[in-house]
Amino acid sequence: MNVKLNDNVVVITGKDAGKQGKVIATSPKNGTVTVEGVNLHSKAKKARKANEVSQIVKVEGAIDVSNVMVVCGSCAKGVRVKHSVVDGKKVRVCAKCGAVLDTAYAGKGKGKAADVKEAPKKRTRKRAAKAEEAATETPAEDKAE
């Protein structure tokens, strides 16, 4: 299944053809995805407490994964997905333009050199820092007395 959670997809067939939305849930075992604002069903919600009101709620239903295509960020169209290796990782790539579709590797597509980032400064806990200060100050106080 080439569609992942939080992907932007376009519906290509069915009553909602042409609609775009974000993938809310995937079910690889059933081969279905749930897309935001697509395949809406009315569901009756019963009041469970005294101060609640019964209402009819619109809920997204699952649609078959073959009825959606991933939207490429650079093409802005529904595209087929290829797989490629970038920095030793297998990633999803746009079949038309070659842009990387996986958000973790979005800046590293099509022959771009990977930018080297500095490691973040190591954080120390306040208690640990206070304990170190107290440990270094005690010998100095003993000498002063």
pLDDT digits (tens, 9 = 90+) for 90-132: 999 998 888 888 876 666 555 444 445 666 766 666 777 677 7
Separation CA 60–CA 109 (nearest Å): 33
Confidence of residue 135 (pLDDT cuts 50, 70, 90): confident
Confidence of residue 75 (pLDDT cuts 50, 70, 90): confident
Q: Which residue would you say has higher pLDDT here, 141 or 77? A: 77
CATH code of 8-114, in short, is: 2.30.30.30
pLDDT at 61: 94
Residue pLDDT, tens place only, 28-54? 999 999 999 999 999 999 999 999 999
Q: Is 10's pLDDT higher than 90?
A: yes
Query: Do residues 19 and 11 touch, judged by C-beta distance below 8 A?
Result: yes
Query: Do residues 17 and 68 touch, judged by C-beta distance below 8 A?
Result: no
Residue owning tokens 């304990």: 131
Q: What is the mean pLDDT of residues 137-144?
A: 57
Q: Is 139's pLDDT higher than 50?
A: yes
Q: How far is CA 63 from CA 7, 25, 43, 77, 119, in A?
A: 15, 11, 17, 20, 43
Separation CA 43–CA 9 (nearest Å): 25
The residue among 86, 76, 92 whose CA lies nearest residue 4 is 92
pLDDT at 3: 92
* Three-class SS state of 132: helix
pLDDT at 17: 94
pLDDT at 131: 72
Q: Is 70's pLDDT higher than 90?
A: yes
Confidence of residue 86 (pLDDT cuts 50, 70, 90): confident
